Amino acid sequence: MIIYDFLFGPFVDFSFMRRALAGSIALSFGAAPIGVFMMLRRMSLMGDAMAHAILPGAAVGFLLFGLQILPMGIGGMIAGLFVAVAAGLVARGTVLKEDASLAAFYLISLSLGVLIVSMKGSSIDLMHVLFGSVLAVDDNALLVLGGASTISIVVLAVILRPLIAECVDPVFLAAVKGPGAVVHIVFLGLVVLNLVAGFQALGTLLAVGMMILPAAAARFWARRLEGLIAVAVGVAMLSCYVGLLLSYHMNLASGPAITLSAGAAYLVSIFIGRAGGVLWKPPPHKHRAA
């Protein structure tokens, strides 16, 4: 009974915990597969940059409508897409590479965002935007989280074939006149969508954690794409559950607790993961027959 109370009590007794769990699990279904593709495309740090880039849009939404998910989300989407497209255009049209171009835009974006929030709100508001509050997920936020995940899964299914081709052999896809550029932009749109969905729960700074940490952990458990996605979604969901539980019992901030749980899964996977974990490396001076 004590174990039951510990593991399930908070979710049975409190609707805000159930909402938080439902919202964060919905987020897992959308964000984790996107994170797998970001990792495979070596865009993990780009996700971090994009997470900062959505801040001014969210801040303008906050400035005009207060702490409401929809206006802040729409503002974040616009800012994120603007930065992604602008960075891409500068990278293609000038000598600057995409990483430097993106870094420049996101730094401008981040400072603009902090400036806008500080003009109106208190430091508590700023903390809320930066670090989120999954325990304050309301009906609107649940709809946004569920909607974003649904859109992500459907769009990912639609673009899966060219997205894989674009990842493995972009020159081939361009040669057969495949929609490489369109797929890249749509994929960036999905990244931004999931970051925006995630910032209500986890904050702008930690939203990317639900994408990258489960994907990085999955890399130590699966070798094939479908396996990586399945493990990443599983790790993300488990992290949400464990994180919320720790948050409740230990009175921790929920966003960092969830992200740290995913981080713990990643650290453990480095050692015990069956697909490349340190403990499963062949012993020194030993080799297989074939």
Partner 1 sequence: MQKRQAPPIRFADVTLGYDGHPAVHHLRGEIASGSMTAVVGPNGSGKSTLIKGIVGLLQPIDGHIDIEGLDRSQISYLPQQANIDRSFPISVVEMVSLGLWPRRGMFGSVTAADKEQVADAIATVGLTGFEARTLDTLSGGQLQRVLFARVLVQDSPLILLDEPFTAIDTSTANHLMDLIERWHDENRTVVAVLHDLDLARERFPQTLLMAREPIAWGASKEVLTPANLLRLRSMSESWDDTAPWCERAAG
Matching residue, tokens 């969901």: 237
Give the count of residues interacting with partner 1 (CB under 8 A).
24
Piece in contact with partner 1 (CB under 8 A), picked from 2-10, 144-152, 153-161, 185-193: 153-161
The verdict on 89 binding partner 1 (CB under 8 A) reads: no
Q: Over the Cα atoms of the chain, what is R_g?
A: 20
Q: Does 274 bind partner 1 (CB under 8 A)?
A: no
| 151, HSE (Cβ side, Cα atoms, 13 Å) | 15
Q: Which two tokens stand for residue 54?
A: 């959505």
177 scored as a contact of partner 1 (CB under 8 A): yes
64's CB contacts (< 8 A; 6+ apart) are 71
By rule CB under 8 A, what string of x and - marks binding of each residue 226-265 to partner 1?
--x-------------------------------------
Q: Which of these ranges, 3-11, 161-169, 193-201, 237-245, lies near partner 1 under the rule CB under 8 A?
A: 161-169
Q: Of 88, 103, 91, 125, which is closest to residue 48 (Cα–Cα)?
A: 103
What CA–CA distance (Å, rounded) separates 126 from 210? 21
Stretch that binds partner 1, among 70-78, 82-90, 206-214, 218-226 (CB under 8 A): 218-226
DSSP conformational letter for 176: T
Stretch that binds partner 1, among 68-76, 106-114, 175-183, 200-208 (CB under 8 A): 175-183
In this complex, which beta carbon is closest to partner 1, that of residue 178 or of residue 277?
178
Side-chain-side CA neighbours of 271 within 13 Å: the count stands at 4
Shortest CB 186 distance to partner 1, Å: 12
The residues binding partner 1 (CB under 8 A) are 40, 158-159, 161-162, 164-165, 167-179, 223-225, 228
